[in-house]
Homo-oligomer: A and B are copies of this chain.
Amino acid sequence: CSWSDGQVTTPEGYKDAYQLFAEGGWSGLGGNPVYGGMGMPKVLAAQFDEMVCSASLAFTLYPSLGAGASLAIDAHASDELKEAYLPQMYSGEWAGTMCLTEPHAGTDLGIIRTKAEDNGDGSHAITGTKIFITGGEHDLTDNIIHLVLAKLPDAPAGPKGISLFLVPKFLVNEDGSLGESNTLACGSIEHKMGINASATCVMNFDGAKGYLVGEPNKGLNAMFTMMNYERLFVGIQGLGSSEMSYQNALEYAQDRIQGRSANGAVQKDKAADPLMVHGDIRRMLLNMKALNEGGRAFSTYVAKQLDIAKFSQDEHEKEKASALVALLTPVVKAFLTDAGLESCIAGQQVFGGHGFIREWGQEQLVRDVRITQIYEGTNGIQALDLLGRKIALSGGAYLETFLGEVRSSVNSEDEFAEELLTAVDKLEELTRQLLAQSQNDPNVINSACVDYLNAFAYVAYGWVWSLMSKTASKKLAESSEDQPWLEAKQITARYYFKRILPRFESSAAAALSGTDELFTLSPDQF
């Protein structure tokens, strides 16, 4: 992207691609049908999200930010605002953004300074500077709808004094046509490590006209409505990049000849054998495959819980699904993006020196996927949310709901029953010990959380691999259709249990190591 005098130009081809995307109806896939959305469940949207992220993470951010903003508007805005904005957002005619971060306030939104003053006409005047605004300005749509966090004059200090406003780039006339420019501008775009086709904007609001979404001072709550969707989506961004890396690396490993098999030459008529003959190449590919398919199953499970929480008529079922969403969303966001980096690095490594060169595309995947571990709450913040908020604050209740699901799915004759149940017991015991430690030392949660999240995720992936293997066995017993594919599931499940699940042990040991060394060093001893 390039910036000039407040205008942002996206790369060649982006306008056409966006047009096609919008015309296909993809912008409104999960949107409310009342306002022209398709009302599709998240289990479907998640699969679509992964595909478009594999194709181009930077491109995908433009329509997805609009979808995210629509979600918040649909859940919290007045009917008037919904009618005025949602149809054009679902159709892709207008894009959307989320304006949260300020130069001094990223993770800590309680200290934002952007202010909102009542205009006395049902609108507010929004003034302040927001940074890191994805798609804050671009040339793909006629209008851009900003959702902005700001403080009312009488707002209490901290996170409980933040309100949410809808602030359009162009004001919308009563007949739905576009009116004058709002008083806001894109001051510059960032030069970044990756997703360079996605405009990351500094946005200056100078008394811009905005409309309150939801209750005053409840802006963070309104944001959190969509947070689970957004965080699931970011996890899927990691997965999409990772899947692309795997597919590229697999093709390269089959084509590129280099060295000989340890069992003697396979392609005797050629100067060398394909990379695929080497155990270490297969190890990298299988690591990626096991993490990708595990991540896909796990995130789809969470998407299903989101759907149940939204669509079910059964209160008990809704409540259980909501608890599972609350617990598992930070795991999806953090672990799928960490695994995404691991797989993009591995896929690049398969290419050797060529992986470092731009023309092969592998290095871009690494640069792009890296942001997914940082934005929408860093992975450290996800881990803190998991262990501190979702587990410690619920006294372990959410966790027990999840472990109950896992345990009740296991039959003693399952191939991995013993390993899985042992891992579940260990996770439960690890949690118990950490919660006990944290009674006397509040720093335990923050110090252990990242390693804990990893330990949690290795067990969760073990569970979905066990389920997939069981389903594959059942299907194989029923028919010979898809036999190679189903057998691959069984073998990859075994690979996961033998080769990846053992990482649980080192994560658990690190999580349990206490805070003595962490907090003994004075700043000048670092």
Contacts and interface: CB of A to CB of B under 8 A. Distances in A.
Contacts of A504: 506
Contacts of A379: 349
A263 to B, nearest CB: 6
Interface string A347-377: 0110011111111000100110011011100
A499 interface: yes
A341 B349 contact: no
A475 interface: no
B345 A374 contact: no
B378 A286 contact: no
A251 to B, nearest CB: 10
B484 A190 contact: no
Interface string A306-332: 000000000000000000000000000
Contacts of A279: 443-449, 515, 518-519
Given A193-B367, A498-B513, A378 B358 contact: no
Q: Which applies to chain A's interface (DSSP): helix, strand, loop or mixed?
A: helix
Interface in A259-290: 259, 262-263, 271-272, 276, 278-286, 289
A432 interface: no
A498 B484 contact: no
A494 interface: yes
A175 interface: no
Interface in A108-135: 108, 111, 131-132
A384 to B, nearest CB: 7
Contacts of A366: 193, 370
Contacts of A514: 498
A371 to B, nearest CB: 5
B357 A491 contact: no
A256 to B, nearest CB: 9
Interface string A188-213: 00111110000000000000000000
A349 B384 CA distance: 15
A497 to B, nearest CB: 9
Copies of this protein, total: 2
Contact of A193 (B356, B445, B522): B356
Interface residues of A, number: 100
A485 interface: yes
A216 interface: no
Nearest to A358: B191
A79 interface: no
A487 interface: yes
A349 B367 contact: no
A367 B503 CA distance: 27
Interface in A230-266: 250, 254, 257-259, 262-263
Contacts of A443: 262-263, 279
Contact of A380 (B108, B280, B285, B506): B280
Contacts of A281: 380
A371 B284 CA distance: 18
A378 to B, nearest CB: 6
A465 to B, nearest CB: 12
Nearest to A494: B517
A516 B286 CA distance: 12
A442 interface: yes
B517 A286 contact: yes
A106 interface: yes
A488 interface: yes
Nearest to A284: B380
Closest 4 CB pairs of A and B: A279-B447, A502-B509, A279-B446, A193-B363
Given A280-B380, A280-B383, 16 more contacts: A101-B353, A104-B257, A104-B271, A107-B259, A111-B272, A191-B357, A193-B363, A262-B442, A263-B443, A278-B446, A280-B449, A356-B370, A484-B525, A494-B517, A502-B505, A506-B506
